[in-house]
């Protein structure tokens, strides 16, 4: 199921929906939650409903909990879980080493 969810994000229509949502969010985490997360949830729901998961947000949460439980037991599931997370979350920019802004 997890591999099908990951594949669903590469379907051209879904990839376009995610890209549009990301562009609208402009790397603002609040907007990511408002715009990107709902699209990602819909894409996942389309796949997991065929496997008996609730077609609401609750089904996606249950699926995510199951994946988390199994990722500690199976390296392949852990790798796929990491890939899915990378599809959902933007790369985080890290502050410069030292973390301070030089005084002028």
Q: What is the pLDDT of residues 29-73, one digit of tens each?
A: 888 889 998 999 999 999 999 999 988 778 999 999 999 999 999
Question: Looking at residue 89, what is its pLDDT?
Answer: 74
DSSP track, 18-51: HHHHHHHHTT-HHHIIIIIHHHHHHHHHHHHGGG
Task: With residue 88 as reference, give the H or E element that holds it.
Answer: helix 75-88
Integer Cα distance of 20 and 15 in angstroms? 9
Question: Looking at residue 94, what is its pLDDT?
Answer: 52
**Measured between alpha carbons, how far is residue 89 from residues 4, 18, 39 in Å?**
18, 11, 12
Global confidence as pTM:
0.79
């Amino acid at each position: 199921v997890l591999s099908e969810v990951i594949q669903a994000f590469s379907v051209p229509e879904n990839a376009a929906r995610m890209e549009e949502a990301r562009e609208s969010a402009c790397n603002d985490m609040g907007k990511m939650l408002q715009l990107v997360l709902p699209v990602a949830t819909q894409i996942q729901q389309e796949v997991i409903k065929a496997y008996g998961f609730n077609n609401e947000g609750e089904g996606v949460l249950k699926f995510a909990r199951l994946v988390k439980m199994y990722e500690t037991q199976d390296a392949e599931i852990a790798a796929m879980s990491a890939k899915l997370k990378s599809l959902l979350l933007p790369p985080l920019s890290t502050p410069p080493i030292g973390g301070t802004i030089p005084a002028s």
